[in-house]
Amino acid sequence: MSERIVAFQGEHGAYSEEAIHRHFGDETATLPCETFTAIFQAIQRGEATNGMLPVENALAGTVAQAYELLMEHDFRVQAEYILPVKHYLLANAGTALDDVQRVKSHPQALAQCADTLRRRGWEAVAAYDTAGAACKLARAPEPHTAVIASELAGSMYGLIALERNIEDDPLNSTRFFVIGQEDAERCDRSKTSLVFGVRHRPKALYYCLGAFAQHNINLTKIESRPIRGRPWQYWFYLDFEGHWQDPNAEAALVELLRQASMVKMLGSYPAASGGPNSHT
């Protein structure tokens, strides 16, 4: 497949599609998928070259299913992209703001606007996608109903904006991974993502993290997630500054392999400018 085709979850006009066009360019071909799983399947079948996968939001936190799928499949993270997210309250023409009683959207979007919804007394109704909710409302209008979606989705499906920028924090943004079959090309300013497990013994996590402290590597994310089918056991998802082939990173990873019960590399990739950067 010579042409780049990027799969995303949702309908045309979704925030993931906006991230694709901002990262790759407006002419990039896109492939809507109903679920996150379908993104991975589209790449496996050769229907798409890449996927744009939301993995974390500045307000609502980690997208758990995205990380579970990264763990289950052998794809590589090739890039990260940080999309500022501006939510619009959209409705059919003729609907007034005072008419609204319920608001539909993806659970992540509802969570990012939770304070606004609670303050207004609007019922939050989960939908599978932001743009999909907009498309469905446009095709089948419902009284007293609005959706939360992007400005692009509103214009695409002929809805009017009752309010703009209703997210709870003006710094709201979503972090995406670009995934594919191959490793990203090495660059000067890289970030690496991996998953590891720890042995059931005292100081196990301490020694795993000590591998990075010992080699002066800055961690930008660490989070535990439950292991499916193994109650009360956890994987640790970790990001660090640098490429896995950097000498200090290689040394740290050798030590991590000695200490951990399992290590899976998700990829080294160009770090996004202005992205999340917590220090440990």
Q: Which residues are catalytic?
A: 174, 176
d(CA 50, CA 53): 10
Closest CA to 133 of 149, 119, 121: 149
Sign of CA dihedral 41, 32, 225, 78: positive
Residue 249 φ then ψ, to 5°: -70, -40
Instruction: Return the HEC string of the chain.
Output: CCCCEEEEECCCCCHHHHHHHHHHCCCCEEEEECCHHHHHHHHHCCCCCEEEEEEEECCCEECHHHHHHHHHCCCEEEEEEEEECCCEEEECCCCCHHHCCEEEECHHHHHHCHHHHHHHCCEEEECCCHHHHHHHHHHCCCCCEEEEECHHHHHHHCCEEEEECCCCCCCCEEEEEEEECCCCCCCCCEEEEEEEEECCCCCHHHHHHHHHHHCCCCEEEEEEEEECCEEEEEEEEEEEECCCCCHHHHHHHHHHHHHEEEEEEEEEEECCCCCCCCCC
